[in-house]
A = this chain, B = another copy of it.
Amino acid sequence: MTGTTGAPSARADMVRNRHLLLAAATAAFAECGVDVSMGEIAQRAGVAKGTVFRHFATKDDLLAAIMLQLLDRLIGAADRLLEADDAGEALREFMTTGVESLAADRAFCEVIGRPSLQHAEVRDAIDRLCEVVEALTDRARESGAIRSDITGTDIVLLLGGIHQTAAPLLPAQPQAWRRYLELAFDGLCSADARELPYPPPTVLRINDPSAVG
């Protein structure tokens, strides 16, 4: 019956702190970029600096945890949309969710290529995301909703690209990404276009020069 007693156990406190920290860090990174200090994050979470390090041994670990959160959310969304009737619409919805998530997070662009993304867990999550999006994309392709030479990894990559396209506008026009999402989607649909000039990425090994794919 652990967890049902009135007084919060030390364990429960820890869980709560972890959530507090994750939330505070997400907000801090989103607003200020990856250069926010651990001190600022601790302050936002209302805990002492030492507590941050008890939960996340290094700043990179914290960053990784946040990325993991985002990735898990996306994986979940993609998973659910696998059940949808209209495969094309499902893909579009997934991308909407994806770009919207990124749009709230100034850190994402900065974080690409940081050591944090070399955390095994993050890499695994990216792999899983690519897999499920691959499935989503297969269905859309098979249903004729998108052209034939688009892969799931393309879709995953486009999320960041679309976000970046709109990024400079976001402070003034927080919804501007919708324009570029649609534009990208139109590209994905143009069935009559000649084939894309460069082979699709097979694996997504971020910043890993050994993965000459």
Contact = CB atoms under 8 A, between A and B. Distances in A.
A120 to B, nearest CB: 17
A150 to B, nearest CB: 8
B113 A172 contact: no
A183 B188 contact: yes
A157 B161 contact: no
Contact of A164 (B109, B173, B182, B204): B109
A165 interface: yes
A143 interface: no
A208 B172 contact: yes
Contacts of A206: 168
Contacts of A165: 157-158, 160-162, 164
Contact of A160 (B164, B176, B187): B164
A133 to B, nearest CB: 14
Contact of A161 (B113, B154, B161, B205): B161
A179 B167 CA distance: 21
A158 B167 CA distance: 11
Interface of A: 33, 35, 106, 109-110, 112-113, 150, 154, 157-158, 160-169, 171-173, 175-176, 178-180, 182-190, 193, 196-201, 204-213
